[in-house]
Amino acid sequence: MEWLYCDFHIHTTWSDGNCELKDVVEMYGETGFDVIAITDHVLDSASLARTKTECGMNCSIEKDQFARYQRELWSATRYAWETYRMLLIPGIELTNDTSKYHILALDSKEFISPDLDVEDILTEINAQGGLSVACHPYIRNHSGETPSEYLWNNQDRFASMFDAWEVANRDDLFNVVGLKKFNYIANSDFHEEKHLRSWKTLLRCSRNVEAVKQAIRTNEAVALFLYRGGKLK
Ligand code: ZN
Ligand code: ZN
């Protein structure tokens, strides 16, 4: 079975990314990626109220926009498959900057509020057949911040409740996460073109969404990969 080049954490102009969805698909498809997930931010209500004046409409997908976001992702999924044989998994990044946790929900089907507590979010993701990932759980070098500090501070409780943790995010390699008890993946947290050069995941599994989710959950045939430019194939 072949190894698949994957990136499960990508933002577009649906939230605070610089690139439109269609340009992101072309960029990853042309480069030769096999699996990507689009994960625009859904912000908690307190943070949304606080930051809306600064970032205008584009800091968060709001509940009433979610159906349109999903529809656009589904059509991008079809295009990515037909054009590049690339899997595109719809997702969101549940972004709670008040209580300090960022959680990826991959292949979730309905809106989930980041105002919920972590256990309820994970229950909801599971109920929708989705996959949960604890994002950048340690200090990020470019900002000096730990946006998921709550997850890290409660790691014993949460370690096995997530399907995976980001052991690497963009330029950061969180070796502290690489402990036996954590399932791991690595993602770019893409917001602009230069973020393509960053840590990524290699997975050995069949090229379909259920197989990809299963490979992350079992976490056996998984490897880290630092992409530095050029075509992958
Ligand atoms: Zn984040
Ligand atoms: Zn992100």
Greater pLDDT, 176 or 7: 7
Find the ligand nearest to 189 CA. Answer: 2
Q: What is the pLDDT of residues 38-97, one digit of tens each?
A: 999 999 999 998 887 776 667 899 999 999 999 999 999 999 999 999 999 999 999 999
Between CA 233 and CA 159 the distance in angstroms is 35
* Phi and psi at residue 134, to the nearest 5°: -80, 120
Cα–ligand 1 centroid distance for 82 (angstroms)? 30
- Residues, beta carbon < 5 Å, ion ligand 2: 93, 189
Q: Which residues pair with 36 in a beta bridge?
A: 7, 88
Q: What is the pLDDT of residues 136-179, one digit of tens each?
A: 999 998 999 999 999 999 999 999 999 999 999 999 999 888 76
- Report the sign of the C-alpha dihedral through residues 157, 159, 160, 165, in that order: positive
Q: What is the pLDDT of residues 105-146, one digit of tens each?
A: 999 999 999 999 999 999 999 999 999 999 999 999 899 999
Cα–ligand 1 centroid distance for 228 (angstroms)? 22
Cα–ligand 2 centroid distance for 9 (angstroms)? 6
Note the pLDDT of residue 56: 60
CATH of domain 2-226: 3.20.20.140
Domain coordinates in residue numbering, the chain? 2-226
Cα–ligand 1 centroid distance for 161 (angstroms)? 19
Cα–ligand 1 centroid distance for 96 (angstroms)? 9
pTM above 0.95, yes or no: yes
